[in-house]
Amino acid sequence: MRESVQAEVLMSFIVSDELSFRIPVELGYETRDPFAVRMTFHLPGDAPVTWTFGRELLLDGINSATGEGDVRVEPTADEDHLSDVHIRLRVGPDQALFRASAPPLVAFLDRTDKLVPLGQESALGDFDEGLDEALGRILAENAG
């Protein structure tokens, strides 16, 4: 069984109203972390930067503004038409704004849904139990 989905899309990195440039962004999804998607941004002159956030956040943001805190996703036009999507990433006072075409994101999310249908993520195992077990091992190793 396939355990991951990968794609590459071009996004505009919006520096200001007057300046933006296109960068490649790798999209990734793995069954071992079924609730999350990864985006690896390849900015010129910098090491790649990877952000991980909820798959459902990306899906919801294609149609309506969603997200609080570090990640916000929203369509750039009205909700009746599939449009471009803004992805805003924030670290403290700093933020980066990217613009992506919605159809490649939808195609990627469709492929993730074929691998693990939305709402069926928990069927892959008990995530909380696995997390508790891993944290228990880490705490035990650090206590000794």
The fold of the 4-143 domain, in CATH, is: Transcriptional Co-activator pc4; Chain A (2.30.31)
Name, in order, each residue with C-beta under 8 angstroms of 17's C-beta and a sequence gap of 6 or more.
Answer: none
Task: Determine the Cα–Cα distance for residues 86 and 42; give it in Å rounded to an integer.
Answer: 17
Report residues of the chain scoring pLDDT below 50: none
4: which 2 tokens? 């991951």
pLDDT tens column, 59-87: 999 999 999 889 999 999 765 567 899 99
Would you kindly state where each structural domain of the chain is located, as residue ranges?
Answer: 4-143
Q: What is the pLDDT of residue 30?
A: 94
